[in-house]
Structure 1
Amino acid sequence: MKRTILIYICIHCLFSLNIFAQKKLGVYSVAFYNLENLYDTENDPLTNDEEFTPKGSMQWTDEKYQKKLENMASVISKLGREYCPGGPIAIGVSEIENRKVLEDLINTGALTEMGLDIIHYDSPDRRGVDVALLYNPKLFQVTSSKAYPYILPGDATFKTRDVLLASGTLAGESFHILVNHWPSRRGEKSSELREFAAAINIHIADSIYKANPLAKIVIMGDLNDDPTNKSCQRVLNAKKNRDEVKPGGLFNTMWTFYDKGIGSLSYKGQWNLFDQIIISESLLGKDYSSLKYWKSQIFNSDFLIQKEGKNKGYPLRTFSEGKFINGYSDHFPVLIYIVKNL
């Protein structure tokens, strides 16, 4: 039985490669990664980052910071390489403190050779963490970017991450990436906070569609919700199946993983799929004369998994019970592949 399965897998792989060879398709990848508290070691008096300083509770020293950078760079440099030798055209990131940590990151290890550029805006988040986009300017030519603030009606005191929009061209086509990190699950009414974040994304996507119905749109991020939660399933109306997506609608590329019990993070012994990539209907179909979605991936390689202790089998994070264990992140990266005729 095992031999039969192995033969099937080999035939499938050869068939896929043959299709790419025959159709001469170009392959592009887009990724998202929650970097789990990528702070520098300096105390910013405007944010609550004291714990990530040398004298803070995490005893966040330059040595630990450099190890964190090296680990993050190692993971990002490996993303998408199976089909895209140059790596992803763009990587959305969250839980980063400022532009400085991003500059340090893209100049660390294998990332130095990727020639990545940065799009970043400071957000009003109380912990001082932002979202950002790292991108390859040779493949994704960014023409504009904007931070959409999260302004909760009736509560101007609530502060969280902005939604980042980067617009440009990929393979000669209009391409737009929205990077998110939605409010956490703290509090009884936290679901409403994420539903409002979803509504911001719908507003942005509708505006893009109105200007160009053929525009390709990617919504990515740590949504702090699963594909079946109201924010994703009802507000975004991101569909599980491709044939359910109507013009102007959205498709959730990660839902099938969720149905199989495969997640991007674990909390209290349960897998969640908060890290999602959702795409516009314009990226669906089999007319490869324009950019089309091929498949998605959760990058859960063995080296990213904790091998012992109570968190065995889960993402190998930076700290465990307050102790530095020199891991990576409490989230796995996620990515999608997009193809087009050469």
Structure 2
Amino acid sequence: MIYVAVGTTGLLFVQLTQAQEARYQVKTIAFYNVENLFDIIDDSLKFDESRTPDGKDRWTRRKYDDKIEKISFTIAQIGRNITQTSPDIIGLCEIENESVLLDLIKSNHLREYNYGIIHTESPDIRGIDVAFLYKKSCFIPQQFESHPLKLISESGEREYTRDQLLVTGRLDSEKIHFIINHWPSRRGGEIKSAPKRAKAAKLNRKLIDSLINLNISAKIITMGDFNDDPNSRSIQKVLNTGGHLKRLKEHQLFNPMYTMFKAGFGSLAYRDKWNLFDQIILTPAFLKDDETFYTFWKAGIFNSDYLISREGRYKGYPFRSYANGNYTGGYSDHFPVYIYLIKKAP
């Protein structure tokens, strides 16, 4: 019989028999689309006028502070039932700038964890970026680079969207690469916009293959809001992912979100249909049977009760900040997603 107990330092204790006990280090890797986390200042270089006190959304200091409070509290809870602490690595999207990230990590809920920030300004027309947060106690960044996605409209003009942020560093001395994504939306229709996400998938795969060419056993995690589901062509075919551990083909990436999606779970809802756009995908190096290095343990969608709308048109959906242009005072229109990495403690 196997018994599991959780310690207070991110250690998992697994008792196999009365005479055997194994200790495992557990790390939580999370991703969260935080739904337009803007400050209240009008930036002349961005189309952010609606998110100001005098703008369409009447985005005041009180609303901003409440949003920081809610998002930081949620982040602090992800994975806590297992690790008794906040996530070690967090990918974010729909943040305006480094200022809002500083407010997040200095908040009452996250201050004690001493997070570092990696962020670059994207050329996105909405003024939103992706970002990477990490606990300085366990992750040492070595290099990072933003990779632009170059899209051309039907009229031949450049369409500006989010960069893909590649971060390389050491998680407890183990080299791991992270790619943070926010692929083009389905605005204009899923089919019409699909080529944009296919192009995003090609860029993502190019980054991954370039790392694998240098090291066949490279540990790479690509995560984000892909604006497509685990069974969409951009994810399954172009990025080349598989959702079943024992049926992975050569060169395929492992997508643990696939089986959750097929079981009916999602991270956002639209017209009474669940989508799982928010995904965390791994190279097969995380699946090897070697407990001395970090390996994939399990994945989840963080959908605690307080993140769910309890009434109205969007009852049962993620409790968002705005709905139909009206302030609702929620958290985000997406649930966070996460995975656990695990290795035997020394």
Q: TM-score range by the shorter chain?
A: over 0.9
> Residues 165-211 of structure 1, C-alpha deviation per residue, up to 9 Å, x if partnerless?
11011132210110000000012521010011011111111111111
Judge which range, 245-254 or 22-31, deviates more. 245-254
Alpha-carbon distance change, 11 to 212 in structure 1, aligned in 2, over 3 angstroms: closer
Would the aligned equivalents of 1:33 and 1:91 in 2 still touch at CA under 8 Å? yes
| CA RMSD between the two structures | 1.9
1:186-225 aligned at under 5 Å gives the runs: 186-187=187-188, 188-225=191-228
Q: Equivalent residue for 2:132?
A: 133
Opposite residue 119 of structure 1, the aligned amino acid is I
Question: After TM superposition, which residue ranges in structure 1, 4 or more long, deviate above 3 angstroms?
Answer: 10-17, 153-156
Whole-angstrom CA distance in 2 between matches of 1:14 and 1:110: 25
Whole-angstrom CA distance in 1 between matches of 2:4 and 2:263: 22
Opposite residue 94 of structure 1, the aligned amino acid is C
Opposite residue 159 of structure 2, the aligned amino acid is F
1:181-330 aligned at under 5 Å gives the runs: 181-187=182-188, 188-246=191-249, 248-330=251-333
Aligned pair count reads: 333
Q: Equivalent residue for 1:78?
A: 77
Opposite residue 74 of structure 1, the aligned amino acid is F
Judge which range, 214-223 or 181-190, deviates more. 181-190
SS at the partner of 1:206? helix
* Aligned equivalent of 1:18, options 6, 11, 14: 14
Q: What TM-score, normalized to structure 1? A: 0.93
Opposite residue 196 of structure 2, the aligned amino acid is L
Identity across the alignment (%)? 44
Judge which range, 46-55 or 244-253, deviates more. 244-253
1:37 Cα offset (Å): 0.5
Q: Equivalent residue for 2:343?
A: 340
Alpha-carbon distance change, 17 to 116 in structure 1, aligned in 2, over 3 angstroms: same
Opposite residue 137 of structure 2, the aligned amino acid is K
Whole-angstrom CA distance in 1 between matches of 2:300 and 2:161: 28
Bigger helix fraction: 1
Would the aligned equivalents of 1:213 and 1:248 in 2 still touch at CA under 8 Å? no
Whole-angstrom CA distance in 2 between matches of 1:19 and 1:240: 30
Alpha-carbon distance change, 308 to 168 in structure 1, aligned in 2, over 3 angstroms: same
Unaligned 5+ runs, structure 1: 1-9
> Residues 42-65 of structure 1, C-alpha deviation per residue, up to 9 Å, x if partnerless?
111111111101111100011111
Would the aligned equivalents of 2:320 and 2:333 in 1 still touch at CA under 8 Å? yes
Q: Equivalent residue for 2:116?
A: 117
Q: Equivalent residue for 1:46?
A: 45
Unaligned 5+ runs, structure 2: 7-11
Whole-angstrom CA distance in 2 between matches of 1:87 and 1:139: 12
Opposite residue 68 of structure 1, the aligned amino acid is K
Bigger strand fraction: 2
SS at the partner of 1:227? coil
Would the aligned equivalents of 1:238 and 1:252 in 2 still touch at CA under 8 Å? yes
Whole-angstrom CA distance in 2 between matches of 1:24 and 1:172: 19
Whole-angstrom CA distance in 1 between matches of 2:208 and 2:60: 41
Opposite residue 213 of structure 1, the aligned amino acid is I
Whole-angstrom CA distance in 1 between matches of 2:176 and 2:151: 28
Judge which range, 321-330 or 271-280, deviates more. 321-330
Would the aligned equivalents of 1:145 and 1:166 in 2 still touch at CA under 8 Å? yes
Q: What TM-score, normalized to structure 2? A: 0.92
SS at the partner of 1:189? helix
Whole-angstrom CA distance in 2 between matches of 1:222 and 1:122: 18
1:60 pairs with 2:59 = yes
